[in-house]
Amino acid sequence: MRKYFDTILDPRGEPVEKAEIRVRKADGSDASLYSDNAGAALAQPVLTNKLGYFEFFAPDGVYTLDVRYTGAAAKIINGVEIYEDQSQLATINRLVADVDMLKSQTPPLPGSTAIIIADKSALAAIVGQAEDTPVYLTQDGGNEGTFVWRLGDYTSEVAGDPDKDFYLEADAVDAGTGAWVRTFDSAKFLSASAGSSLIGFLHTALNAVTRTVKAKLLQMPLTPEDFRGPGDTDTQALKRFAAALGNGVNGQIEAAYTVSGVIDVLNKSHFRIFGNGSIKMADGAAADDAHSTLRFTGCSNFSVEDITINGNRANRTPAESSGHNVRVRSCAYAVFRNVKSINSVTDGFHIASEAPDDKATHSHHMLFDSCIADNSFRNGMSIIQLNNSEVRGGSFRNSTGTAPQAGIDIESNADDAENSNELLHVTGVDLSGNAGYGLAIAGPSDPRRIWITDCTFIDNTAGAMMLAGADIFVVRPLISGGGSGLTRGVIDVPSSASEVGRIEINAPKFRNITTTTQSLLYVHSVSVGSVTMLNVDCDSCARIADFQAPNCRLQGGVVSASTLAVGAVSFGASAARGEVSGLTLSNFNKTAILSLADDVRIIENTLREPTANDNTGIIRVFSGSGATVRANKLVRASSGAGYGIVSAVKIDRLEGNRVEGFTGNPYALTGTPIVARGNIENGALRTGETVIA
């Protein structure tokens, strides 16, 4: 009988509560399930908890899992092998052969058939050994203990243990055939058969539940100290620790460790790493792949919680290379929670793929919850190939050193699979103090379908956001700062060879914007446009929006001051079919709205108290055709000579506007509008017009 467990996540990577899992045998009938290995029956279907987790015990066999939950099609998982035999025990013994308790075996008693030898050289020289042959090592500088001969491929174990503390290759037999393994005969000692061993007798007498080594490991986490031999470095202990994880075996890190090379977790699943400890890269270590601090490759169904990864930037030479603190490659269904990544010589977190041109290998269904990246040389987090994932809470701050220098940079490469980054959520994250953008989405491979919700952007030198992607939705950002270092706008939609557009920014709040030349939102002419900003809230700025691409809109919102005279909202010559509507703007300098494009709509705006006014006017249609100017209200409390609505070309429709406090030239128009009606100037209907019915 063996315990089986897993986690059910929805397509967004969120845990599914009360999902139903029905376990069936090969003939389609329901399997007998148990809540523990003592045989307590468990009813079907099994339900997931709030974390999407479920577990059960089942007899040895191959099963099919039928997974169902509201709002999703049934999922059938075939070929689930559940077994607990002697070979499985041997596999677990191989994983934990270097645990301290297995190294502390006493010498065999007089009369034992075990071979007693003095050193490892003598052990390696033994020939003709049968499987499970025990040998006791007596004189090895504190490494005394029992080894047994095991058949199987031990090539990787031998290669990973150069000090021969736990795995030893025989002189006459290749490690691919067998090796000496530091262990004890757990299969015999932990036998549950009554009368066959000491444990068996105790089991019968006490009516107790006998647990295998594997069952114990499923209940209690390993630590790096379980794998430390005399004289071992932190690197050696952590490498062995990482190799033992998976298949329900978890790890706990509570101490502070310093490593000289990358700690690899390779092709593992169903494990958890947690604890309040830390891993720091050693002084002088190169900024390269071999000195990434913690690297996960090909892993799934795992979590990493609470640990700190320190790249030790002050004592290394940073570089735009691959010396990332936390590197994730081709992983899925994973949670990083409260993980702190500091002082990286490249990126704090780096999420990518082993085969960038093959989307099937891209990382997916990952949650980074309340994680922190601080003082990274390049980016706090680089998302290279990732989909169906979320960064939730936490902070990615103070990236500085080499471009992009972003808090989070979502940027694949030009030869990657199409839409390498998509279906991503960034929610409630602090993205502040970075020398580049707080968040950057770069154009290669057409990133798309990205949601940025309730994030904070304070004092990012290049700007709050660069949005070079399609179908991007930004909701309720809080933005502060933005001075002379801005690339273009505080929010920048740049030029790109890839598709850029269909972007919506809803309810942004801008405070303490210090630039005197740049706009809150800039949309480059080399983009597909279709950028909308809704319900803007700003205390003061130089300009609100500079649209240079078609189909862009500014709708609603309140701006208390705008200082630049060239147009608080402007539509360049390429910004056809643009719109500004429902805006309330006060204390602006000369021109509030400027249009140079075709078919621009200026509708229902309230423009109050210009700080200066000249013949450029408050609303100025300078060039282009097809403009509509409707139901706008231009107000100045102290009446005087001035210019309200000014056009250098013919306006198509001029309807229902009200201009108050501007004597002399409330309307200074070139040509007669196609439709002109219901416009008020200083309390009276404009000459020659009719009232709108």
Two structure tokens written together for 104:
């502390």
Report which of residues 93 and 3 the model is more confident about: 3
Cα 397 from Cα 304, distance rounded (Å): 21
- Tell me what the mean pLDDT of segment 420-426 comes to: 95
| pLDDT band at residue 528 under the 50/70/90 scheme | confident
Cα 598 from Cα 158, distance rounded (Å): 73
β-pairing, 340-342 vs 308-310, is parallel
Closest CA relative to residue 459, chosen from 427, 486, 434: 434
- What does the DSSP assignment read for 586-645? ESBBS-SEEE-STT-EEES-EEE--SB--TT-SEEE-S-S--EEES-EEEEEEEEEEEEE
Two structure tokens written together for 581:
């509507």
| pLDDT band at residue 576 under the 50/70/90 scheme | very high
SS (H, E, C) 527-571: CCEEEEEEEEEECCECEEEEECCCCCEEEEEEECCECCCCCCEEE
At residue 503, does pLDDT exceed 80? yes
Beta bridge partners of 248: none
C-alpha distances (whole Å) from 531 to each of 422, 473, 489, 542 are: 19, 10, 14, 20
- Tell me what the mean pLDDT of segment 44-72 comes to: 87
Least confident of 108-117, 431-440, 666-675: 108-117
Handedness of CA 365, 74, 27, 35 (dihedral sign): positive
Element (H, E) at 656: none
Q: Are 472 and 441 in contact (CB under 8 A)?
A: yes
Residue ranges in 276-374 assigned as alpha helix (H): none
Cα 483 from Cα 379, distance rounded (Å): 21
Q: Are 162 and 236 in contact (CB under 8 A)?
A: no
Say which residues have a Cβ less than 8 Å from residue 334's Cβ, sequence separation at least 6.
Answer: 296, 299, 300, 301, 302, 303, 304, 328, 365, 366, 367
CA angle 6, 8, 9 (to 5 degrees): 135
- Tell me what the mean pLDDT of segment 546-562 comes to: 97
Beta bridge partners of 334: 302, 366
Cα 636 from Cα 647, distance rounded (Å): 20
In terms of Cβ atoms closer than 10 Å to its own Cβ (0-12, 13-18, 19+), residue 220 is: exposed
- What does the DSSP assignment read for 423-448? EEEEES-B--S-SSEEEEE--TT--E
Handedness of CA 149, 152, 157, 161 (dihedral sign): positive
Two structure tokens written together for 88:
């499985």
Two structure tokens written together for 226:
């379980």
Tell the residue number behind the tokens 């557009």, with chain if given.
Answer: 501
pLDDT for 631: 98
| C-alpha 493: how far from chain center | 22
Residues 468-498 have pLDDT tens digits of 999 999 999 999 998 889 999 999 999 875 6
Q: Are 322 and 356 in contact (CB under 8 A)?
A: no
Exposure of 456 in the CB half-sphere (CA atoms within 13 A): 11
Cα 82 from Cα 23, distance rounded (Å): 11
Cα 199 from Cα 588, distance rounded (Å): 86
| pLDDT band at residue 144 under the 50/70/90 scheme | low
Closest CA relative to residue 167, chosen from 138, 144, 137, 147: 147
Cα 578 from Cα 599, distance rounded (Å): 7
pLDDT for 138: 65
Q: Is 383 helix (H, G, I), strand (E, B) or coil?
A: strand
Element (H, E) at 94: helix 86-95
Cα 140 from Cα 168, distance rounded (Å): 14
Tell the residue number behind the tokens 């079919």, with chain if given.
Answer: 577
Report which of residues 610 and 527 the model is more confident about: 610
β-pairing, 653-655 vs 619-621, is unpaired
User: What are the sequence ranges of the domains in the chain?
Assistant: 2-82, 86-189, 502-693
Two structure tokens written together for 509:
């709040």
- Tell me what the mean pLDDT of segment 598-620 comes to: 97
At residue 211, does pLDDT exceed 80? no
- How much of the chain, in percent, has pLDDT values that exceed 70? 87
Least confident of 41-55, 73-87, 207-221, 455-469: 207-221
Cα 13 from Cα 36, distance rounded (Å): 29
The yes/no answer on whether domain 2-82 falls in CATH 2.60.40.10 is: yes
β-pairing, 421-427 vs 456-458, is unpaired
Please give the radius of gyration of the chain, using alpha carbons only, rounded to the nearest integer: 34
Cα 266 from Cα 633, distance rounded (Å): 65
At residue 190, does pLDDT exceed 80? no
Cα 585 from Cα 583, distance rounded (Å): 6
| pLDDT band at residue 691 under the 50/70/90 scheme | confident
Element (H, E) at 199: helix 198-206
Q: Are 20 and 54 in contact (CB under 8 A)?
A: no
Average pLDDT, the chain: 87
pLDDT for 686: 93
| pLDDT band at residue 7 under the 50/70/90 scheme | confident
Tell the residue number behind the tokens 């402007």, with chain if given.
Answer: 570
Cα 116 from Cα 56, distance rounded (Å): 44
